[in-house]
Amino acid sequence: MKQPAFINRIMIWRNRRISTSQFILILSLVVGLLSGLAAVILKNLVHYTFYLISKGFQFEKENFLYLALPLAGITITVLFTKYILRKNIGHGVSRILYAISRKNGIMELHHTYSSMIGSTFTVAFGGSVGLEAPIVLTGSAIGSNLGKLFRLNRKTLTILIGCGAAGAIAGIFKSPIAAIVFAIEVLMIDLTLSSLIPLLISAVTGASVAFFLSGSRILFSFDVTDPFFLRHIPYFIILGIFTGLVSVYFTRMTVYIEGLFNRIKSTLQKLLIGGIILGILIFVFPSLFGEGYEILQEVLSGRDKDLINEGLFFMLKDQTWFLLLIMFMILIFKAVATSVTNGSGGIGGIFAPSLFMGGIAGYLAAKLLNLIPGVMVSEPNFALVGMAGVMSGVMHAPLTGIFLIAEITGGYALLTPLIITATISYLTIKYFEPHSIYAKRLAERGELITHHKDKAMLSRMKIDTLLETNFQTIDLNATLGDFVKVVPHSQRNVFPVIDHENNFYGIIFINDIRNIIFNREVYDTTFIRDLMYMPDPIVNPDESMEDIARKFSESENYNLPVIKEGKYLGFVSRAKVFSTYRKLLEEFSDE
What one-character DSSP code corresponds to residue 308? S
Using CA atoms, how far apart are residues 240 and 223, in angstroms rounded to an integer? 22
pLDDT tens for 174-199 read: 889 999 999 988 887 666 777 889 99
pLDDT at 56 over 60: no
Q: Which residues contact 328 (CB under 8 A, 6 or more apart)?
A: 364
> What is the mean pLDDT of the segment spanning 469-492?
87
Using CA atoms, how far apart are residues 78 and 86, in angstroms rounded to an integer? 10
Q: What is residue 591's predicted lDDT score, i.e. its pLDDT? A: 43
Closest CA to 30 of 142, 173, 171: 142
Closest CA to 110 of 89, 80, 79, 131: 89
H helix runs in 55-153, sequence order: 65-79, 92-102, 114-124, 132-149
Using CA atoms, how far apart are residues 326 and 360, in angstroms rounded to an integer? 10
Using CA atoms, how far apart are residues 585 and 583, in angstroms rounded to an integer? 5
CA 221, 51, 258, 453 torsion-angle sign: negative
Closest CA to 495 of 351, 484, 454, 298: 484
> What is the mean pLDDT of the segment spanning 431-457?
65
Which pTM value belongs to this model?
A: 0.78
Q: List beta partners, residue 567.
A: 503, 564
Q: List beta partners, residue 503.
A: 567
Answer for the pair 199, 205: CB distance below 8 angstroms, yes or no. no
Answer for the pair 72, 49: CB distance below 8 angstroms, yes or no. no
Q: Which residues contact 414 (CB under 8 A, 6 or more apart)?
A: 224, 228, 381, 384, 385, 405, 406
Domains (range + CATH), the chain: 5-214 (1.10.3080.10), 230-449 (no CATH), 457-589 (3.10.580.10)
pLDDT above 70 covers a percentage of the chain that reads: 88
Q: What is residue 589's predicted lDDT score, i.e. its pLDDT? A: 53
pLDDT at 477 over 80: yes
Which pairing describes strands 504-509 and 494-498: parallel, antiparallel, or unpaired?
A: antiparallel
Counting every residue written for the chain, the total comes to 591
Q: What is residue 60's predicted lDDT score, i.e. its pLDDT? A: 46
347 versus 98: which is more confidently predicted?
A: 347
Q: DSSP 3-state assignment of 515?
A: coil
Q: Which of 203-207, 375-379, 535-539 has the lowest mean pLDDT?
A: 535-539
Answer for the pair 198, 158: CB distance below 8 angstroms, yes or no. no
pLDDT at 125 over 60: yes
The phi, psi pair for 142, rounded to 5°, reads -60, -45
547 versus 431: which is more confidently predicted?
A: 431
Q: What is residue 445's predicted lDDT score, i.e. its pLDDT? A: 54
Q: DSSP 3-state assignment of 223?
A: coil
Answer for the pair 390, 425: CB distance below 8 angstroms, yes or no. yes
Using CA atoms, how far apart are residues 259 and 344, in angstroms rounded to an integer? 11
Q: What is residue 448's predicted lDDT score, i.e. its pLDDT? A: 53
Q: What is residue 452's predicted lDDT score, i.e. its pLDDT? A: 52
> What is the mean pLDDT of the segment spanning 253-262?
92
Residue 485, CB-side half-sphere exposure with 13 Å CA sphere? 9
Which pairing describes strands 559-564 and 567-573: parallel, antiparallel, or unpaired?
A: antiparallel
Q: List beta partners, residue 444.
A: none
Closest CA to 60 of 326, 379, 449: 326
Answer for the pair 324, 368: CB distance below 8 angstroms, yes or no. yes
Omega before residue 537 within 30° of 0, cis: yes
**For residue 125, what are the CA distances in angstroms to 72, 77, 121?**
7, 10, 6
CA-based angle 236:241:243, to the nearest 5? Answer: 90
327 versus 217: which is more confidently predicted?
A: 327
Q: What is residue 59's predicted lDDT score, i.e. its pLDDT? A: 47
pLDDT tens for 397-416 read: 999 999 999 888 876 788 99
In whole numbers, what is the pLDDT of the chain averaged over residues? Answer: 85
